[in-house]
């Protein structure tokens, strides 16, 4: 299955309600610091919305809920991998995207047979504190050479204006958060993203 090249990340199903009708076809639900019982109904709602709009839902971190709700994708970072039951995730038929930030993390990710690899932060991000400086576009090119046919997701400080450069450098998919959520007109920004990525 070929994933869409535009991959927004949102922290509530309400964002999916706003953006899926615009044509978003790949989206991550990333809810941090909330107990599983609070996230459960949000995963269910996001899954129903994505099914209705023919979009692929990626559940961040909450792999147990993804199994529970019959979701198709999870995204796991390196710390998530320490506690995730990958065999159970695979038995449930769930595809797995993995974050990477350096060579050791990439080696570990590749050893687990991911369905996509994310590299970040390509540019500085204001969403969260990270110990990594911006990776830059040369690193995107290097990662693509190392992972071959696996889809490469570029994340971190991505914007509509920066998307073309990331694709030229080798990214298959570009992911963004604040470029959309902090925009004065998020819907218009999503339309711009769709225009530059299709
Ligand atoms: C597409 C994509 N890439 C990277 C991340 C970051 O995952 P992680 O390192 O586990 O950090 P959190 O997002 O869980 O804070 C991601 N979520 N999506
Ligand atoms: C959630 C996340 N993970 C990253 C990584 O490098 O692994 S960067 C990032 C934040 C992306 O947000 P924005 O598009 O607003 O910069
Ligand atoms: Mg995580």
CA of 152 to the centre of ligand 3 (A): 17
Q: What's the topology of domain 6-197?
A: TIM Barrel (3.20.20)
Full-model pTM: 0.98
ipTM of the complex model: 0.99
Residues 6+ apart with CB under 8 A from 123: 134, 156, 157, 158, 162
pLDDT tens-digit readout, 31-56: 999 999 999 999 999 999 999 999 99
Which residue minimizes the CA distance to atom 2 of ligand 2?
156
Instruction: Dump pLDDT digits (tens) for 50-106.
Output: 999 999 999 999 999 999 999 999 999 999 999 999 999 999 999 999 999 999 999
CA of 111 to the centre of ligand 2 (A): 23
The verdict on the CB of residue 157 being under 6 Å from ligand 2 is yes
CA 55, CA 104: separation in Å to the nearest integer? 32
Compute the distance from residue 24 Cα to the ligand 3 centre, in Å: 22
**What are the residue boundaries of the structural domains of the chain, listed by start?**
6-197
Check: CB of residue 70 under 8 Å from CB of residue 57: no
């Amino acid at each position: 299955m070929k994933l869409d090249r535009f991959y927004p990340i949102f922290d509530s199903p309400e964002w999916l309600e706003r953006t899926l009708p615009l044509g978003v076809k790949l989206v991550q639900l990333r809810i941090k610091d909330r107990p599983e019982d609070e996230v459960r109904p949000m995963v269910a709602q996001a899954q129903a919305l994505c099914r209705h709009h023919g979009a692929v839902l990626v559940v961040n971190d909450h792999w147990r809920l993804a199994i529970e709700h019959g979701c198709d994708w999870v995204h796991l970072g390196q710390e998530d991998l320490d506690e995730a039951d990958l065999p159970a995730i695979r038995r449930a038929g769930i595809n797995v995207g993995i974050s990477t930030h350096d060579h050791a993390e990439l080696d570990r990710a590749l050893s687990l047979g991911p369905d996509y690899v994310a590299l970040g932060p390509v540019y500085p991000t204001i969403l969260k504190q990270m110990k990594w400086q911006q990776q830059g576009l040369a690193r995107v090119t290097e990662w693509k050479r190392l992972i071959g046919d696996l889809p490469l997701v570029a994340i971190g400080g991505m914007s509509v204006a920066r998307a073309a450069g990331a694709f030229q450098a080798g990214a298959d998919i570009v992911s963004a958060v604040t470029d959309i959520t902090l925009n004065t007109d998020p819907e218009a920004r999503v339309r711009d993203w769709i225009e530059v990525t299709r």
